[in-house]
Amino acid sequence: MTSSPALGGWLAEAAAVLSPVCCAGCGAADVGVCPECRVALRPSLQRVRAGPVSVLVALEYGGVVAHVLGAVKERGRTDALGVLAAPLGVALASALASAGGAAVLVTVPSARAAVRRRGFRPVEELVRRSGVGRDSVRPRGRPVRGGLVLVREVADQAGLGVEERRVNLEGALRASARLAGRHVLIVDDVLTTGATLLEARRALEAVGARVEGAVCLAYTRRRDGRGEPQVTRRRPAGS
């Protein structure tokens, strides 16, 4: 069956409502996301680096965060988008305040195959539900639709090493010429090696955009302690 992305998202949401609900984080019965898992999703903003890009992150990837994000992206649990949009919104608001001027938000696009499979674009949905950029009087922070597009299909980054990820993404993104001269914050869901953000920055700068930094919902702390991203500063939630 073929269906539009919007219809696919609606069906996934309807299925989640109709089927017996369990916590997207821990599997506890009869609750979308249980109180204990909500605590684990409280933002703890940290500034990390992906090469030259300064990245504000809301959560550390793993445990409950990984389970809830996985439930949203791989099991159609769009009912859990809201609990992830809230910490992202805190990070977006903080980054926009720091960026000054009139920064716009540009989301990293999902691979076409992933959009077809899921029926929605997780990063765009998270930004939309975060409420950031809704203020029509002050358009600061408004997401720019189609700011970055994939110019070719890329392999799933999961399971690829640092160098493989870089090669996989090299030249894969193109930025809209409308962004020339604009101050931009790149938005993505999970920061792992930073390869995606570096490719996004390259594409944006190629059209004359000024990349102020990036905001990610969660980042993966490297277990081997080598390479990027590196935590450089810890800030209390909401700052």
C-beta of 79: minimal distance to Zn ion in Å?
13
Which stretch, 21-29, 111-119, 169-177, 207-215, contacts Zn ion (CB under 5 A)?
21-29
Tell me: does residue 41 bind Zn ion (CB under 5 A): no
Task: Give dist(CA 202, CA 23) in Å, integer.
Answer: 39
Phi, psi of 200 (to 5 degrees): -65, -45
Tell me: does residue 40 bind Zn ion (CB under 5 A): no
Cα→Cα distances 87→75, 125, 141, 145, Å = 21, 14, 16, 22
C-beta of 9: minimal distance to Zn ion in Å?
23
Which stretch, 32-40, 82-90, 91-99, 130-138, contacts Zn ion (CB under 5 A)?
32-40
Which of 8, 12, 16, 34 forms a contact with Zn ion (CB under 5 A)? 34
Residue 23 or 204 with smaller CB distance to Zn ion: 23
CB 125 within 8 A of CB 83: no
Residue type, 192: T
Strand partners, 149: 174
Tell me: does residue 37 bind Zn ion (CB under 5 A): yes
Which of 23, 209, 211, 214 forms a contact with Zn ion (CB under 5 A)? 23
If you write DSSP's letter for every residue of 60-93 in order, what string do you get?
ESSHHHHHHHHHHHHH--GGGHHHHHHHHHHHHH
C-beta of 158: minimal distance to Zn ion in Å?
23
Interacting residues toward Zn ion by CB under 5 A: 23, 25-26, 28, 34, 37
